[in-house]
């Protein structure tokens, strides 16, 4: 079985493509059930954030599964396959594991070291658990990625300080205005991203931070959590836009919250006073053409790339240490993966030796007194264990190339073994009593929802 990754991210696709490939829109479990119904892979997890959409799958035929996943991505989102394919990247086996480890560590994020991604990776794994699409291999892979994220955060300074997209938005505002003191800031969106942005703005000494949300109670709770911020209902948006110097949008809306015509209306009474819009939502909250209006300066999440590059330069030494941790954990995962691949041969070898031992004991049974037979049982079992110790260790330490061309094949031919896939190849993450009670399919088909 192989591990396959297919995805798009801020490194390969512009924002207008990424915002259309959003598995969170209908829920990760719904997307996983849709994928499961196609029987494209034995296991699957979908990681979907504002800057990436990645599918991790376990399969036998990499080429066929790659094509099936590409088709799924395009059809699920109603996009032409040719419009999606140029932006898709893929990795196999340990390189796929390395990619996930770097994602969990914050090394592949728009803002290197940002802390939110590890929680999003955990959320993706939880969704796969709820949808019954994560099995032995992906459970091990994702738990290993959690360990990588934790190590990077505790053993390096990569995550120190404010390194979120919210902070990058504030950094952009400071480049525009210099000192932010005395400015009026409007944050549209009372979720975590809006809250973090408001906190960063408040720390810069702005005159006023106002939180606007469709749900007034939600806006009020967020304002209270920040301390010193005001809350307002969406009905007051036009008046607040008229007074704001900086507007940061971070809602979860499926369509634009601020259209070009809306901004044109707001700008008329401002008398050429500039309005700076920073759209950090995905999908975007502000129509792109709004940036063409005179005295309107619109920036979206892709415009934060310059801030990211500066962040990366400052953290170069920490990135190196984090990459070393990733390499160490990839090696550990590779050892586990190789030992798992060796299981069929190890099992077949033990079964072969045990068959020979039992056959000889049965042949001698009539000539051995009971007490002698019991002693011979113990001695022969111990001899078998010692004979198998070195071959077992060699198999588990062998590389994938070794397993396919030398050790496993040599043992199979030498002893006439018949190896079968390990029993756990297609089982899901459940306790042993459950596995004894029922047969588990590669995917649990989605039931009525």
φ, ψ for residue 91, nearest 5 deg:
-140, 155
Contact 344, 419 (CB under 8 A): yes
For residue 315, the tally of other CB atoms under 10 A from its CB is 21
φ, ψ for residue 7, nearest 5 deg:
-170, 175
Give the pairing type, strands 2-9 and 89-92.
antiparallel
Furthest-apart CA atoms within the chain: distance in Å? 110
- In the set 13, 31, 42, 50, the catalytic residue is 50
> Cα(349)–Cα(133) distance, rounded to whole angstroms?
32
Q: Is 59 tagged catalytic?
A: no
| Sign of the alpha-carbon dihedral angle for 112, 118, 119, 120 | positive
> Cα(115)–Cα(430) distance, rounded to whole angstroms?
30
> Cα(15)–Cα(268) distance, rounded to whole angstroms?
29
Contact 294, 284 (CB under 8 A): no
pLDDT for 343: 62
pLDDT for 53: 95
> Cα(371)–Cα(330) distance, rounded to whole angstroms?
51
pLDDT for 165: 72
Q: In what order do the strands lie in the sheet with 43-49?
A: 43-49, 52-59, 2-9, 89-92
The per-residue pLDDT string of the chain (449 residues; one tens digit each, 9 = 90 and over) reads: 899 999 999 999 998 899 899 998 889 999 999 999 999 999 999 999 988 999 999 999 999 999 999 999 999 999 999 999 999 999 999 999 999 999 999 999 887 887 789 999 999 999 999 999 999 999 999 999 999 999 999 999 887 654 567 777 888 888 888 888 889 999 998 888 778 888 888 888 889 999 999 899 989 998 888 888 899 999 999 999 999 999 999 898 889 999 999 999 999 998 888 999 999 888 899 999 999 999 999 998 888 777 767 776 777 778 899 999 999 999 999 888 877 766 666 677 777 778 888 888 888 877 888 888 888 888 888 888 887 777 766 665 655 554 444 555 655 655 555 555 544 444 344 443 443 343 334 444 444 44
Query: Among residues 201, 7, 33, which one has the least CA distance to residue 95?
Result: 7
pLDDT for 280: 87
Give the pairing type, strands 275-279 and 296-300.
parallel
Query: Among residues 143, 146, 129, which one has the least CA distance to residue 29?
Result: 129
φ, ψ for residue 58, nearest 5 deg:
-110, 130
For residue 161, the tally of other CB atoms under 10 A from its CB is 12
Contact 3, 56 (CB under 8 A): yes
Contact 412, 345 (CB under 8 A): yes
């Amino acid at each position: 079985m192989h591990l396959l990754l297919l995805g798009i991210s801020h490194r390969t696709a512009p924002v207008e493509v990424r915002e259309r490939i959003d598995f969170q829109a209908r829920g990760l479990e719904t997307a996983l059930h849709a994928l499961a119904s196609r029987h494209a892979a034995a296991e699957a997890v979908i990681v979907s954030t504002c800057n990436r959409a990645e599918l991790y799958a376990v399969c036998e035929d990499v080429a066929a599964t790659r094509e099936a996943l590409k088709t799924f991505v395009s059809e699920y989102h109603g996009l032409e396959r040719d419009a999606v394919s140029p932006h898709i990247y893929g990795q196999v086996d340990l390189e796929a594991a390395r990619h996930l480890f770097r994602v969990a560590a914050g090394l592949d994020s728009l803002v290197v070291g940002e802390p939110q991604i590890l929680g999003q990776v955990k959320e993706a794994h939880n969704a796969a658990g709820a949808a019954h699409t994560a099995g032995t291999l992906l459970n091990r892979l994702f738990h290993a990625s959690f360990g990588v994220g934790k190590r990077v955060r505790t053993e390096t300074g990569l995550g120190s300080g404010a390194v979120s997209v919210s902070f990058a938005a504030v950094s952009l505002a400071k480049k525009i205005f210099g000192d932010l003191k005395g400015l009026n800031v409007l944050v549209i969106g009372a979720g975590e991203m809006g809250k973090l942005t408001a906190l960063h703005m408040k720390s810069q000494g702005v005159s006023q931070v106002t939180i606007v949300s469709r749900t007034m109670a939600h806006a009020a709770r967020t304002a209270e959590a920040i301390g010193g911020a005001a809350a307002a209902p969406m009905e007051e948006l036009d008046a607040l836009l008229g007074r704001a110097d900086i507007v940061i949008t971070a809602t979860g809306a499926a369509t634009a919250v601020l259209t070009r015509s809306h901004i044109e209306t707001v700008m008329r009474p401002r008398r050429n006073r500039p309005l700076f819009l920073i759209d950090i939502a995905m999908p975007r909250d502000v129509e792109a053409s709004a940036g063409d209006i005179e005295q309107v300066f619109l920036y979206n999440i892709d415009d934060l790339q310059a801030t990211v590059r500066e962040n990366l330069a400052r953290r170069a030494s920490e990135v190196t240490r984090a990459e070393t941790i990733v390499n160490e954990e990839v090696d550990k995962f590779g050892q586990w993966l190789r030992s798992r691949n060796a299981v069929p041969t190890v099992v077949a070898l033990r079964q072969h030796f045990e068959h020979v031992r039992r056959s000889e004991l049965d042949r001698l049974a009539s000539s051995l007194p009971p007490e002698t037979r019991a002693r011979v049982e113990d001695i022969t079992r111990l001899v078998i264990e010692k004979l198998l110790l070195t071959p077992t260790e060699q198999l588990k330490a062998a590389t994938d190339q070794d397993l396919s061309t030398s050790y496993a094949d040599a043992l199979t031919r030498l002893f006439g073994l018949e190896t079968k896939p390990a029993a756990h190849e297609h089982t899901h993450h459940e306790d042993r009593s459950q596995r004894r009670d029922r047969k588990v399919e590669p995917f649990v088909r989605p039931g009525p929802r």
